[in-house]
């Protein structure tokens, strides 16, 4: 969606409300400072007459504006800021998989800033995220056939490791081969970051990172699958990144991935029907209800749409009101409009 497709009043409201849901969809140039920001920037709001709106960062830069050092608008598509990338690189190089606060300060990063960022984007502090990631690596080592004693990294004793492992996964290290877990990662996109989750059986979560929705959806799938979620890497995450990149580039119309979407029998029937809506086309909630088997269940299918935990892949964005208006969308109507325009070749 470009600024031409977003109404000026909508952009102004998003900017003055500091609405992070619009990050990446447009950028704001401030004439008095010469910088451009994302809508959610925490800086003091300028007077409306000193604001210009741009559909992408390049256009803002060409107009003479510099990127804001507070909100880092160049990272609005989900790419972690440079300082976060520095932390992750140092973590990879750490022999014990740890990065104490003192080391973070040596890298020029305030630990409090890291805590805030990781709480917002991953639902946990940086240290908790690093610990969970380290435990997931240990779990994969054990599942490959190694002894638990060889998987310990960053723990002074085997008992400490086993205790932390049990808290993270809900079972002892030796039971890893039989117990499932959800591996999560953040994926960048043109409409903002996405939280993805997979198990060995396939993709179970793809949700826009916005407010508390992605946290609620992650908690819901953990409850359905009766397992814990930890950050890490997995073959299905790699496949998902590749196919999403192709989709956003306009070269992929269908996803070829195993999907996991537990729910009530009614929800599952709705989600199965959604997968039958052709790329670039839309149907009404009433038509979806008819396909499910009850023409009077428009409201119920709308609720089931909102519970869909596999955004884009199970295309609930292709359902609109009978009048042709967009209706609702858990990821925000601006994203729904953008996705439909992408599929129609209108971007």
Measured CA to CA, the distance from residue 225 to residue 125 in angstroms comes to 24
Which residues on adjacent β-strands are paired with residue 24? none
Measured CA to CA, the distance from residue 297 to residue 70 in angstroms comes to 47
From residue 314, alpha-carbon distances to 131, 268, 293, 309, 310 in Å are 32, 11, 19, 8, 6
The DSSP code for 259 is B
Residue 178 tokens read as 């039989």
The yes-or-no answer on residue 37 being catalytic is yes
Please, which residues have CB within 8 angstroms of residue 248's CB and are 6 or more apart in sequence? 189, 190, 342
| Active-site entry in 41, 68, 204, 316 | 316
Q: Is 318 exposed, middle or buried (0-12, 13-18, 19+ CB in 10 A)?
A: buried
Measured CA to CA, the distance from residue 119 to residue 99 in angstroms comes to 17
Residue 77 tokens read as 């598509």
Measured CA to CA, the distance from residue 149 to residue 202 in angstroms comes to 29
Start-to-end C-alpha separation, the chain: 7
The yes-or-no answer on residue 71 being catalytic is no
| Active-site entry in 37, 68, 71, 227 | 37
Which residues on adjacent β-strands are paired with residue 205? 197
Distance, C-alpha 110 to centroid of its chain = 24
* Catalytic sites, residue numbers: 37, 316
């Amino acid at each position: 969606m470009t600024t031409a497709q977003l109404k000026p009043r909508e952009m102004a409201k998003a900017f003055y409300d500091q609405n992070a849901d619009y990050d990446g969809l447009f950028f704001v140039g401030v004439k008095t400072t010469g910088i451009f920001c994302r809508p959610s920037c925490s800086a003091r709001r300028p007077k409306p007459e000193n604001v210009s709106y741009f559909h992408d960062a390049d256009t803002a830069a060409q107009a003479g504006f510099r990127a804001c050092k507070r909100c880092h608008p160049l990272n609005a598509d989900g790419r972690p800021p440079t300082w976060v990338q520095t932390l992750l690189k140092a973590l990879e190089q750490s022999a014990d998989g740890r990065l104490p606060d003192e080391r973070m300060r040596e890298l020029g990063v305030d630990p409090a800033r890291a805590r805030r960022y990781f709480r917002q984007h991953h639902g946990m502090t940086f240290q908790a995220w690093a610990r969970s990631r380290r435990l997931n690596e240990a779990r994969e080592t054990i599942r490959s056939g190694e002894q638990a004693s060889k998987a310990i990294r960053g723990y002074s004793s085997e008992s400490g490791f086993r205790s932390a492992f049990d808290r993270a996964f809900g079972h002892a290290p030796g039971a890893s081969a039989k117990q499932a877990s959800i591996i999560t990662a953040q994926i960048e996109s043109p409409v903002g970051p996405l939280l993805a989750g997979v198990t060995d059986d396939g993709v179970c979560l793809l949700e826009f990172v916005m407010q508390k929705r992605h946290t609620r959806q992650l908690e819901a799938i953990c409850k359905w699958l009766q397992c814990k979620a930890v950050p890490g890497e997995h073959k299905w995450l790699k496949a998902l990144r590749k196919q999403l990149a192709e989709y956003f580039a306009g070269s992929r119309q269908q996803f070829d991935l195993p999907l996991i979407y537990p729910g009530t029998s009614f929800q599952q029937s709705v989600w199965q029907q959604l997968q039958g809506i052709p790329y670039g086309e839309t149907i009404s909630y009433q038509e979806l209800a008819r396909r499910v088997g009850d023409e009077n269940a428009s409201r119920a299918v709308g609720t089931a749409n909102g519970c869909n935990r596999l955004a884009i892949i199970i295309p609930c964005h292709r359902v609109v009101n009978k009048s042709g208006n967009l209706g609702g969308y858990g990821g925000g109507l601006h994203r729904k409009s953008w996705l439909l325009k992408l599929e129609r070749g209108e971007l």
